[in-house]
Structure 1
Amino acid sequence: MAWDIMNMIAVMAFAFSGAIVAMSERYDFFGTYMLGIATAFAGGIIRNIALDVPVVHVWEQGIFFYVAVTIITIAYFFPKSWVMFMDRWNVYTDAVGLSAFAVGGAMFALEQGFPLGGVMFASLLTGVGGGITRDVLAQRRPMVLHQEIYAVWAMGAGFVAGMGWLDLDSVIQMYGLFIVILCLRLLSFHMGWHLRFRDFYRM
């Protein structure tokens, strides 16, 4: 149940993020739904393909699919001023999706019996896959490639889980890891932390 709730949080955050980006780029009705759904589910699909695990198709996601569609529908009827405001602050919904999916990806890999490297890889792909898909389809530079520290936090969630430092069967510890990754991502955004080593040479 706790894992389902974590996935639900991630799906809602990324579906909303994808819909907002689509509308800010003036996508039509169909395009908004496609981008929202792709953002919500691409990470898990990419992860399963990379790990050679059976892929659960989007239309087989059950309640998660219907929740994503509902969130996109609500966002689609936002006034234009709301859309522009949400797009400027989309980093927050993106951070929620990144953190929740990174933890969910780690849990998935652990359940499949993958070693540390596989757990970190699953966290990375699940956490950033949806955001990359959203940005590429919207013809934007993916956040993971140019903005503040992003993918490292997803890998960090996988590292902590894969090392066995946390018991993800514990709801408190699982959500504690989610909150830590979320705070680190937002902190790196507000503090302007980057992985561009050339910036250190200029100091």
Structure 2
Amino acid sequence: MDTWDIFAIIGTVSFALQGGLIAMEKKYDLFAVYLFGLLTSFGGGALQHVLIGGSDYQLWNQERLFLVAMISITVVILFPKPE
């Protein structure tokens, strides 16, 4: 694992947490919390990947980052921020 992988994990966690927290603040259901968390964590990267002409295989072959995002969103659900 090199430095860029660590930066990708940090970015994925931060954007997944951000999307999940915003969805929870809006009082969306569980599906929407996961959806918004995944959209914010992968949406910008996917758009960038498409614009630079990357292959579809690289775009969908990110199991580690997907797992990191799902764990981050689950942490947001289990430990919501106090109001």
- Report the TM-score, using the length of structure 2 for normalisation: 0.87
Structure 1: how far apart are the matches of 2:82 and 2:33?
Answer: 12
1:111-150 alignment to 2 at 5 Å?
none
Which structure 2 residue ranges, 5 or more long, are not aligned? Answer: none
Equivalent position of 1:30 in the other structure: 31
User: Aligned runs of 1:16-55 on 2, under 5 Å?
Assistant: 16-55=17-56
Matched positions, count:
80
Matching residue's letter, 1:46? L
For 1:25, the aligned partner's letter is: K
Using the aligned pairs only, state the percent identity.
32
TM-score normalised according to structure 1 size? 0.38
Contact 1:24 1:83 in 2 (8 A): no
Alignment partners' CA distance in 2, 1:43 and 1:77: 26
Code of the residue aligned with 2:55 in structure 1: it is P
Q: Map 1:26-175 onto structure 2 (within 5 A).
A: 26-55=27-56, 56-57=59-60, 60-79=61-80, 82=81, 84=83
Q: By how many angstroms is 1:23 displaced?
A: 0.3
Superposition deviation, residue 78 in structure 1: 2.5
Higher relative contact order (CA 8 A, sep 6+): 2
CA RMSD of aligned residues (A): 1.4
Runs (4+) of structure 1 moved beyond 2 Å? none
1:98 paired residue number: none
CA distance in structure 2 between the partners assigned to 1:48 and 1:74 by the alignment: 28
Query: What CA distance in whole angstroms lies between the structure 1 residues aligned with 2:11 and 2:35?
Result: 17
Q: 1:48 deviation in Å?
A: 1.4
Q: Aligned partners of 1:21, 1:67: CA distance in 2, in Å? A: 18
Unaligned runs of 5+ in 1: 85-203
Task: Return closer, same or farther for 1:54/1:78 CA change in 2, 3 Å cut-off.
Answer: same
Residue type of the partner of 2:13?
M
